Structures are given as structure tokens and as C-alpha cells.
């Protein structure tokens, strides 16, 4: 995909994301920090809580802006470094959609793929066994043993299709 083909995705809003309901309580968030051999601090806990609450797929900047309203003492560098540590520990998944800034989400217990609206930025998470099976077949055909994958599909969501029709 050439750089010109990378779609511009607008900034998402909290109501623009469809999520699976995986809940982490505070003890689980503390367990994540300890599993990284780090001390549980109020800043680290606040970052994890902000990442967990609300929508997923946030950029480091969006997470920082959300935190800054409640915790102005937490700097962007702290947020970014902790996200990197969480990613390296596989507690957070970094998703790079079409060459855009990385987005982060708490690593879900189950695999899912993404369908993103190029008009409003809405992200729908989905699971499809037929697609998963086909990806395994393709990997096997080329002699690969899959370790992981990310599937990103881009299109126009139903709401934006209706809006485009109404604007005509």
C-alpha cells in the first residue's frame, strides 16, 4: 500500500467505538504492574485505569490528554514510557493502522480484528472463524507458522453512508 493510499482517519470519539465487555478490576490492574516487576504507583495505576475505562484504541497523545484533565502531574513522557513497557510485557497491544500513529488497547483475552470507518473513525471489533481459518491456510501454503496477526479493514460505516446519501 503506497503512502497516498493510506486513509486519513479522523479522531475517534468515545461513542464511536464498539467494544467487547472485558472488565479488569483494580486488583487485576495492580497485578499487571507487579508482573512487570514494577512498583505499583498512583501514576501507573491511573494510566492503566484510563486505558481500561472508556474506549479502546487510543493514541499515546489521546491517553495523555484524558489523564491530564484529572492528573496534571502525569507527563506525556511518563504515559509513553509506561505504554512501551506494557506493550513489551504484552499487557497492551499496539495497533498501527495504515501507517497512522500507534493506537493502544489492553490486550484482550481473545483475538479480534478491526473494521474502521474512514469517514468518522468508528472502529468495530469483530471475530470471524472463516477468516481466521483462511489466514492459517495461507500461512501453511507458504510454509509459515503464524505467531500473530492484525487484520485491519477500512470502509464507510452505515451511519456515514446514510449521511452521505442525505447530503446529496
Encode burial over 155-167: b for 16+ CB neighbours within 10 A, e otherwise.
Answer: eebeebeeeeeee
Residues in CB range of 59: below 8 A, 6 or more apart: 101, 102, 103, 104
The answer to the question of whether 111 is labelled as a binding residue is yes
DSSP string, 97-132: -TTSPPEEEEPPSS--EEEEETTT--EEEE--HHHH
The answer to the question of whether 124 is labelled as a binding residue is no
CB of 127 within 8 A of CB of 110? yes
The answer to the question of whether 157 is labelled as a binding residue is yes
- Angle at which helices 42-52 and 76-88 pack, to 10 degrees? 70
Annotated binding site for Fe cation: 111, 113, 132, 149
Indicate the annotated binding residues for Zn(2+): 117, 120, 157, 160
Which residues contribute to the annotated binding site? Answer: 111, 113, 117, 120, 132, 149, 157, 160
Amino acid at each position: 500500500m503506497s503512502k497516498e493510499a493510506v486513509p486519513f482517519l479522523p479522531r475517534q470519539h468515545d461513542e464511536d467505538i464498539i467494544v467487547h465487555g472485558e472488565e479488569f478490576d483494580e486488583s487485576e490492574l495492580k497485578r499487571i504492574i507487579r508482573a512487570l516487576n514494577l512498583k505499583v504507583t498512583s501514576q501507573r495505576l491511573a494510566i492503566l485505569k484510563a486505558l481500561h475505562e472508556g474506549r479502546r484504541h487510543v493514541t499515546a497523545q489521546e491517553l495523555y490528554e484524558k489523564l491530564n484533565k484529572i492528573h496534571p502531574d502525569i507527563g506525556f513522557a511518563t504515559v509513553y514510557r509506561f505504554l512501551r513497557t506494557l506493550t513489551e510485557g504484552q499487557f497492551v497491544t499496539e495497533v498501527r493502522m495504515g501507517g497512522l500513529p500507534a493506537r493502544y488497547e489492553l490486550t484482550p483475552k481473545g483475538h479480534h480484528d478491526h473494521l474502521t470507518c474512514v469517514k468518522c473513525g468508528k472502529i468495530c471489533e469483530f471475530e470471524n472463524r472463516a477468516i481466521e481459518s483462511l489466514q492459517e491456510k495461507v500461512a501453511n501454503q507458504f510454509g509459515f507458522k503464524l505467531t500473530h496477526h492484525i487484520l485491519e479493514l477500512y470502509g464507510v460505516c452505515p451511519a456515514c453512508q446514510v449521511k452521505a446519501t442525505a447530503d446529496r
